[in-house]
């Protein structure tokens, strides 16, 4: 039996907070995971208050929270995410992971295989965000 026979391909990116875009400094605050065959798109985030106070004190936490809640709404296809939420799942993932120079960015997209997208999201989140 092929080891990949029962596994689904997924893609993920790390969500990064970039307090000063011109300095290109960031810290990881979340993960977004997409699995086409499971029609799965989910983002999870956490902003460590200590890191935030050290690196992003000039940024208002409420603004960042609002942006992140919008990312989650887009993942869920929730109308609160605006017009992007109406796009197909793959298009929403591509839009969220597109290169941008804003306070919230994503890493490059990385692939993998899983039998459990939720479990994989939690594992990557634990490893990359903490």
Domains in the chain: how many in total?
Answer: 1
pTM of the model: 0.91
- Say what the pLDDT of residue 3 is: 67
Tokens found for residue 124: 């990557």
Please report whether residue 61 resides in a domain: yes
Over range 20-28, report the average pLDDT.
83
Q: Give the sign of the dihedral formed by CA 102, CA 86, CA 45, CA 49.
A: positive
- Say what the pLDDT of residue 1 is: 46
Please report whether residue 65 resides in a domain: yes
Please report whether residue 89 resides in a domain: yes
pLDDT surpasses 70 at 2: no
**Residue 56: Cβ within 10 Å count:** 21
Please report whether residue 1 resides in a domain: no
Length of the chain counted residue by residue = 130
What CA–CA distance (Å, rounded) separates 5 from 12?
21
Structure confidence by residue, pLDDT tens digits, 55-111:
777 778 888 999 999 999 999 999 999 999 999 999 999 999 999 888 899 999 999
Structure confidence by residue, pLDDT tens digits, 26-66:
899 999 999 999 999 999 999 988 888 887 777 788 889 99
SS (HEC) of 27-54: EEEEEEEEEHHHCEEEEEECCCHHHHHH
Which range of residues forms the domain containing residue 114?
Answer: 8-128
Please report whether residue 60 resides in a domain: yes
């Amino acid at each position: 039996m092929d080891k990949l026979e029962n596994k689904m391909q997924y893609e993920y990116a790390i969500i990064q907070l970039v307090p000063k875009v011109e300095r290109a400094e960031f810290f990881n605050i979340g993960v977004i995971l997409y699995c086409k065959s499971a029609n799965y798109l989910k983002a999870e985030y956490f902003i460590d208050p200590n890191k935030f106070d050290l690196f992003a004190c000039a940024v208002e936490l409420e603004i960042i929270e609002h942006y992140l809640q919008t990312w989650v709404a887009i993942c869920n296809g929730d109308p609160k995410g605006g017009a992007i939420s109406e796009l197909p799942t793959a298009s929403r993932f591509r839009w969220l992971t597109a290169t941008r120079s804003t306070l919230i960015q994503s890493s490059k997209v990385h692939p993998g295989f899983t039998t459990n997208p939720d479990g994989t999201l939690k594992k990557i989140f634990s490893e990359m965000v903490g």
